[in-house]
């Protein structure tokens, strides 16, 4: 369940009461893991896998209701702003921004007063502890607001190349906006840690997601240009993507700048270690998206029309993880090892001791290919009915039927009535040997393709699904709990 898909919050799910109710639902249903999508401030297209910062949180996920509890806003101010948490059946990013941004600014305006002495002290401590990324991000966001663009390659040359005098002038000129951004990040981090504590106290672990790549229009690339394959003007020479596969006949040209891996190696992967440090302070488990990119990655010329003309290049393999382990200890990481995976990728995953992913929908086409079929899941793996990139179970099965695809293998897992195919397939994943099983909320609810989160390769219309209110009923919770008990997956069994 992505945070943005929660039913509460004006235009978008957030870290407020709806998130706490979802934790309660998980606890009552006997569940111990909540997997989320990345939480960073999203760049164009609202994809959580494309963010302006790998360290920052998305201010649209801030709950203004919790700011009322902190005394930073009033219920009257929420009402005057049209803060209505009902009636939005899809995520409306524009509505969320129009309502929340002015309210957060209002909270900021009243923040520095004697009434908030304790909060001010917490804010100052937060800024000190996070200055290694927060100062640069706040300047970056202020400059983006001033210029009207996060594409820093279009800024004045002195700012593109981070001339000391130019950035110092910007810090003085944009001081208020810089402080507002720091306040936003403080509020987000504070609300997130409160939610995490609430979940952990109820035996629910939060399972985060780290994209391997970052957006060009990000502070991470702007301040670390030597760590990326860029030209002198800041534009990427090559970008990330994947070759033609299950999801797209022309591959996917993601557009993220690629890493200059020798430069990372020369610092003992310090930037990566800080990414892991921050992520593991926020989450109990961490999925590394596109893990195969550490073994080898698809390099696409920036000028190419699509990803077909790319080539494979060797990645840094285990080195970033070893450096992080030396600094941080054991890494509770799950490797997203989906797509065109080679023996070398499997070997790297096993060398690092990370569990991989098995996805039921990928195991139903060929009798001899059992890798993603529930009976073949190894214990050291994380099993899924589908991911955020898949159709829902119901939509996937209907599409197969409509297109006349042979469902002989799928049908083995279904009951005679065929009226609860999502329940039958969820049960198959839960009863596998995989030590962890994750079920997308849309599959639990038996929703069709209209509830899909993302269609890879489609630039528009994604990341908008929102869980309807009142569908996570006690009956659904009891059904999930019973399936969990029947498959010996309760905390007592493990």
414 three-state secondary structure = coil
Tell me how far CA of residue 190 lies from CA of 34, 57, 63, 194, in angstroms: 19, 11, 11, 6
472-485: burial string, b at 16+ Cβ within 10 Å, e else:
beeebbebbeebbe
Sequence-separated (6 or more) residues with CB below 8 Å from residue 167: 139, 159
Smallest CA-to-CA distance from 441 within 395, 411, 472, 485 is with 472
Is residue 184 among the annotated active site residues?
A: no
Is residue 486 among the annotated active site residues?
A: no
Instruction: Choose the catalytic residue: 8, 220, 295, 336.
Output: 336
Instruction: Choose the catalytic residue: 151, 389, 435, 469.
Output: 389
Full strand arrangement of the beta sheet holding 381-384:
356-359, 381-384, 436-438
Q: How far apart are CA 219 and CA 150, in angstroms?
A: 9
Unique residue bearing structure tokens 């994809």:
47
Smallest CA-to-CA distance from 215 within 56, 96, 75, 336 is with 56
Instruction: Choose the catalytic residue: 84, 245, 274, 289.
Output: 289
Helix axes 270-282, 175-201, angle to 10 degrees: 50
Unique residue bearing structure tokens 């957030």:
14
Is residue 135 among the annotated active site residues?
A: no
Catalytic residues: 289, 336, 389
């Amino acid at each position: 369940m992505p945070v943005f898909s929660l039913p509460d919050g004006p235009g978008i799910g957030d870290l407020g009461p709806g998130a706490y109710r979802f934790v309660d639902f998980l606890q009552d249903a006997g569940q111990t893991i909540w997997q989320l999508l990345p939480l960073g401030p999203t760049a164009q297209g609202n994809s959580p896998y494309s963010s302006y910062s790998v360290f920052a949180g998305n201010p649209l996920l801030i709950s203004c209701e919790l700011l009322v509890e902190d005394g930073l806003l009033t219920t009257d101010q929420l009402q005057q702003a049209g803060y209505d948490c009902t009636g939005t059946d899809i995520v409306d990013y524009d509505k969320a921004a129009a309502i929340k941004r002015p309210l957060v600014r209002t909270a900021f305006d009243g923040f520095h007063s004697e009434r908030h002495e304790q909060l001010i002290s917490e804010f100052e401590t937060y800024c000190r502890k996070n200055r290694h990324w927060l100062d640069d991000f706040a300047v970056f966001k202020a400059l983006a607001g001033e210029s009207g663009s996060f594409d820093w390659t279009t800024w004045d040359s002195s700012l593109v190349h981070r001339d000391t005098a130019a950035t110092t002038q910007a810090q003085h000129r944009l001081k208020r906006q810089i402080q507002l951004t720091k306040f936003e990040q403080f509020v987000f981090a504070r609300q997130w840690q409160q939610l995490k504590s609430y979940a952990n106290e109820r035996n629910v672990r939060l399972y985060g997601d780290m994209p391997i790549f970052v957006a060009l229009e990000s502070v991470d690339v702007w301040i670390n240009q030597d760590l990326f394959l860029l030209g002198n003007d800041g534009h990427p020479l090559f970008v990330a993507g994947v070759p033609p596969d299950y999801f797209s006949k022309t591959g996917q040209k993601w557009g993220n700048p690629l890493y200059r891996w020798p430069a990372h190696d020369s610092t003992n992967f310090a930037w990566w270690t800080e990414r892991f440090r921050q992520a593991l302070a926020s989450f109990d488990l961490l999925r590394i998206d596109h893990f195969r990119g550490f073994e080898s990655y698809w390099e696409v010329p920036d000028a190419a029309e699509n990803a077909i003309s790319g080539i494979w290049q060797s990645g840094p393999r285990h080195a970033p993880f070893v450096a992080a382990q030396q600094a941080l200890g054991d890494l509770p990481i799950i490797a997203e090892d989906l797509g065109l995976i080679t023996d070398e990728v499997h070997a790297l995953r096993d060398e690092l001791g990370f569990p991989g992913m098995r996805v039921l929908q990928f195991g139903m086409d060929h009798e001899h290919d059992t890798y993603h079929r529930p009976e073949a899941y190894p214990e050291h793996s994380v099993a899924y009915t589908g991911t955020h990139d898949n159709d829902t179970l119901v939509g996937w099965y209907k599409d197969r039927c409509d297109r006349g695809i042979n469902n002989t293998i799928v049908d083995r897992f279904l009951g005679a009535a065929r009226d609860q195919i999502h329940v039958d397939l969820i049960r198959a994943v839960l009863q596998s040997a995989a030590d962890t099983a994750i079920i997308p909320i849309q599959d639990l609810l038996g929703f069709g393709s209209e509830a899909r989160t993302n269609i890879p390769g489609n630039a528009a219309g994604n990341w908008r699904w929102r869980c309807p209110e009142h569908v996570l009923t006690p009956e659904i919770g009891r059904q999930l709990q019973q399936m969990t008990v029947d498959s010996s997956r309760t905390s007592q069994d493990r």
